[in-house]
A and B are shown apart, each in its own frame.
Chain A
Amino acid sequence: MKRNRNKTIATYVFLVIMSIVFAFPFYFLIVSATNSSIDVTNGRMLPGGELFNNLKNIFSQTAMTSALKNSAVVALFQTILALLIGSAAGYGFEIYRSKGKDIVFNIILLSMMVPFAAIMIPLFRLFGKMSSISPMIGINSYASIFLPYIATAFLIFYFRQNTKMFPKELLEAGRIDGVSEVGLFFKIYMPTMKTTYAAAAIITFMNSWNNYIWPLVVVQSTEKQTVPLLISQLGSSYSPDYGMIMAAVLVATIPTLVIFFVLQKQFVAGMLGANK
């Protein structure tokens, strides 16, 4: 009995220490965002009264306002298009299953193995060519930031897996009622699969909001900068205003934190979707 109790105490001690270690960067981030640059450099570890000042500085001295807008626009388009395309494909591959489609599906899955760095240069050249068709889809356009991510093997796979659990009798009932094949997808499948869509939306939004390497390549003007590009630039400045930079990092992190805390269940479901 005593040995068991000692073990329990050891577990708690370990977990508390690990929790402090894991939570510390967040604490440092929040505290630094509320202090002046000098206080941060002096190692002040208590909340200060500079948060509003720091926030005022980010929005007046940096392109944060447009960065937030750009990130939001890109994330919105990316999420809507990726969900529409991913779910249509997942639905098609599962509901209208055939040998030919299964082969295509397996080839699509191979694209998950493609490292982004390997296709970055050809993609950049592709969007360079698209610039001559229309600046709307060329380098430095909103579209160029999200287009490479609107069809992903991950979402197609995710929707196909979830479609396996979709009650197919609903489709038969719809057909008897004279609903068209396309209508079945939009009017019956989509509303039934709301939670599947919610989880996919969260993951896609987060990926878009946090994406760095491709926007770094394809965005070429400050007006089109997304939030990660802006904070990366602030972080590498030679005379950093620590308080302001940490407030900027906090502003960049808050949307994803809010989504996580509000939609925890769908969030985890979306993550695990890859492993079902």
Chain B
Amino acid sequence: MKIWPIFKKEMRLYFTSPVAWVIMAVFLFIAGYFFYSIFSYYARVSMQSAMNPMGGGLNVTDGVLRPLFSNFSVILLLMMPLVTMRLFAEERRSGTIELLLTYPVRDGAVLLGKFLAAFALYVLMIALTLLYPAIIWYFAPLEWGPILTGYVGLLLMGATFIAVGVFASSLTENQIVAALLSFLILLMFWVVGWSADFADPALGRVLQHLSLTEHNDSFAKGVFETKDVIFYVNFTLVALFLALRSLEARRWKG
């Protein structure tokens, strides 16, 4: 499997073009703003509660990290389609896919190389946000367990987002269509849990289980549940499988 050269090529393309830099800058700007407002709000509330004899029960994990991770997932929902949209759509539009797919490399290797490149960019993006827990740690004692699980959750969720984006990008040669399509898919799986309350209890449980957010929240709480891991891994695999099918379809269409 020649995943590595494809991976390197994609990384090069991300970083020689402004795409990676702009995406990281915008993400960090928005994430930084959210962190600032959540953290300063928490500081104010904790100050008030310190003066209130009835106060207490505040903790950094619940007060800062959980809202922060949940905000991250909203930003990522909006931004990951922009990271993944060019992966196949751009190659189709510029025709480079004709060369890429006539090189002696399996479709699966092309797909995984691209997926892993987007994932590596994502990991880098997420790693830079470790600055925020570090800042909290400077001011207040910190539980590292929930931070660790929170980041594991983010990585798993990110893999899902990227796999969906890769699939959407493999369907079209228009990057905007690819971005909107992956945004649509992600958003539908995001809000599907909301209707769980109105649905039939049995169906509601299914809907809730399908929701992308539902599974991320427990990670942010510091809970590491196998079912959540399996959900994200499965979601990723299904999306990648569909992308592979859509790539291979070209080879069979007489």
Same complex: no
Interface residues of B (CB under 8 A from A): none
Interface residues of A (CB under 8 A from B): none
